[in-house]
Amino acid sequence: MAAQAKQPNGGYLPVSLFRTLEYDDGNTTPSISAEYAGAVGTVVDYMTRFAMTGDKQAAFSISLAGAAKVAHGADAIRLLDKVTGLNEQSLCAAFELVKYDVALRQGAAAFVPTEAKAPPKEVLLATAIMIQRTIAFFHAYEMPDLNGFTMDGGYSRLVSSGDGDYVTETTLLDMKCTSGNLNSRWALQLLMYYIMGYQSYNSSYFRKLKRIGFFNPMKNTLYYYDIKEIPNEILYKVSRDVIGYKMDYSTYSYELTQKEIQKAYNHWYSVEVNNSDAVRDLHYAPYCAALKRLGAGSHQPPKLC
């Protein structure tokens, strides 16, 4: 959805405003051909999850589910058995395994069987370096509380799926393995994940976040944006115009004083969702943007999309 969304000039969250924190491990990452660019990021992500949790079934759950959709479940399990660490056989198996992701994400028809082919040595080396960098990053920064999470309870009619990478104690993180620069589409997607996550059944993790950001293990760099610096107007517009939450512009003015906000808040009757406290907190705290519909002045629970 973020790819199709029309954004203002510079994007809803200008990437130029993201701060950076660079790490140095003394390694140079070999270049990666376009043929393997997409798979490398997925392998680094899944192998990092496996390394940190010890649960490779969970780490490669999307791959296994995709394989099951195309009746390759037994083949996928055999590949998973070979995934043990950073050795060549293990990484080659991981590259084969993530080919099944497309069957789950885009449908069985999108999966095209191909002959197994080991990636070039330089690709395997770059992948191993980036896995080590990501593990080291989390140990130096904060360990994840969530990984590979969904946002059930926060989706809408326009955005009915999507899964995020990592949530630490203070930061929502997306992994991007690229030699290129951040772009407005990625920044919007990350903001959408934050808003939907705050509305989801995992909202308790999102309520305490202080920043959103990207970690790029190819550049060994963290890019981050403080949540308190995101204008309420941007949160509001992304919630309504991009995610598709039902929101009434007339019930909220960005110029309201804290007292006026409190007065409007006291008129709200109830919000009947499992995480209703999170919905109220998000609006009043002051992340009003992700409230799907304001109930000011009504004595009936507002309907949520």
Distance, CA of 290 to CA of 197 (rounded, Å): 10
pLDDT of residue 273: 31
pTM of the model: 0.80
The token pair that represents 224 in the structure block: 């981050």
Structure confidence at residue 5 as a pLDDT band (50, 70, 90): confident
% of the chain surpassing 90 pLDDT: 71
Distance, CA of 52 to CA of 120 (rounded, Å): 26
Helix residue spans in 112-172 (DSSP H)? 121-140
| Stretch 271-284: mean pLDDT | 33
Please write the tens of the pLDDT for every residue from 18-54.
999 999 999 999 999 999 999 999 999 999 999 999 9
pLDDT of residue 297: 31
pLDDT of residue 198: 93
Does the pLDDT value for residue 169 go beyond 80? yes
Distance, CA of 161 to CA of 145 (rounded, Å): 21
What average pLDDT does the structure give for the chain? 84
| Stretch 261-265: mean pLDDT | 48
3-class DSSP state of 135:
helix
Does the pLDDT value for residue 64 go beyond 80? yes
pLDDT of residue 248: 59
| Stretch 190-210: mean pLDDT | 95
Rounded to the nearest 10 degrees, the angle between the axes of helix 34-53 and helix 121-140 is 40
Does the pLDDT value for residue 299 go beyond 70? no
| Stretch 254-258: mean pLDDT | 53
Structure confidence at residue 123 as a pLDDT band (50, 70, 90): very high
Structure confidence at residue 291 as a pLDDT band (50, 70, 90): very low
pLDDT of residue 42: 97
Residues pairing with 223 in the sheet: 20, 214
3-class DSSP state of 216:
strand
Higher per-residue confidence, 271 vs 106 = 106
Most confident range, picked from 116-120, 168-172, 249-253: 168-172
Structure confidence at residue 236 as a pLDDT band (50, 70, 90): confident
pLDDT of residue 48: 96
3-class DSSP state of 201:
coil
pLDDT of residue 256: 53
Pairing of strands 146-147, 211-216: unpaired
Side chain identity at residue 282, one-letter code: L
pLDDT of residue 301: 27
Does the pLDDT value for residue 254 go beyond 80? no
Distance, CA of 182 to CA of 68 (rounded, Å): 34
pLDDT of residue 276: 33
pLDDT of residue 1: 64
| Stretch 276-281: mean pLDDT | 34
As a whole number of angstroms, the longest Cα–Cα distance in the chain is 66
The token pair that represents 38 in the structure block: 């997409």
Which strand (E) or helix (H) includes residue 223? Answer: strand 221-226
Does the pLDDT value for residue 268 go beyond 80? no
The token pair that represents 261 in the structure block: 């906000």
Does the pLDDT value for residue 266 go beyond 70? no
- Residues 48, 53, 55, 58: what is their CA dihedral angle, to the nearest 10 degrees? -70
Asked whether the beta carbons of 215 and 137 are under 8 A apart, the reply is yes
Asked whether the beta carbons of 284 and 261 are under 8 A apart, the reply is yes
